[in-house]
Amino acid sequence: MTFRHASTPTRCALASIAATVLLAGCGSDGGSPNDGSNTVPVQSGETLPDVVTDDEEPAVADSGTINVRLEEIDVIFSEGFEVGLRFETPDGEVLASTLWSDFVAAQGDAGPNAFYDSVLEQAVPAGDVIVFGTVNVGIGPPPEVPDLDSDLGCRLPVNVPVDGSVGVTVLFSGDDDCLEVG
């Protein structure tokens, strides 16, 4: 299962397009679907974004995945932990970002092992991608929730093959080296 976070402008644009398409069919005199009576005008050269249903992934030319998992450890942190992840192009374009707790919650398994066993499969363009991350473990108080728009501390450049994947492991061993390929 792939977890993606669509930005609010993208969701709003898709909702606007869907509403326009639905409204264009209102009041139709029952003519055939291809008679032009329920079409949406498009300016010359204008393109509309792909509409994605829950069952399909958007078509991305020359894409791959980054599979993120947590390092295997022999303990469960009683105060919990939080991991912040951000995926960017080398020129700083944010492709996606998430908190580990949000990703696990979206999977539907609320058990404690889900936090340790889940694997995030992030679709990205093939080529160079930078993975940023931070790990906060609760010691006494609960863990601090990372600000995904700030400096996350760990930086790992990876090269994603076309239609392939790269594994990234989140480590609990320290702030400056919390990500590794593998």
Q: Which domains does the chain have, with CATH numbers?
A: 7-57 (no CATH), 63-181 (2.60.40.10)
With contact defined as beta carbons under 8 Å apart, do 128 and 159 qualify?
A: yes
Q: In terms of pLDDT, which residue wins out, 58 or 136?
A: 136
Distance CA 169, CA 24 (A): 48
Nearest to 139 by CA among 81, 179, 99: 81
With contact defined as beta carbons under 8 Å apart, do 40 and 21 qualify?
A: yes
With contact defined as beta carbons under 8 Å apart, do 148 and 84 qualify?
A: yes
Distance CA 160, CA 23 (A): 41
Task: Answer yes or no: is pLDDT of 38 > 50.
Answer: no
Contacts of 4 (CB under 8 A, 6+ apart): 96, 122, 123
Task: Answer yes or no: is pLDDT of 78 > 70.
Answer: no
**Predicted pLDDT of residue 177:** 83
Q: In terms of pLDDT, which residue wins out, 25 or 96?
A: 96
Strands (E), the chain: 63-70, 81-88, 94-99, 120-125, 127-137, 154-160, 165-170, 179-181
**pTM metric for this prediction:** 0.64
**Predicted pLDDT of residue 159:** 98
What mean pLDDT do residues 36-64 have? 51
Q: Which range, of 24-38, 80-94, 115-129, 140-154, averages the lowest pLDDT?
A: 24-38
What stretches of the chain show up as alpha helix (H) in DSSP? Answer: 8-25, 100-107, 112-117
Kindly give the pairing relationship between strand 120-125 and strand 63-70.
antiparallel
Kindly give the pairing relationship between strand 127-137 and strand 81-88.
antiparallel
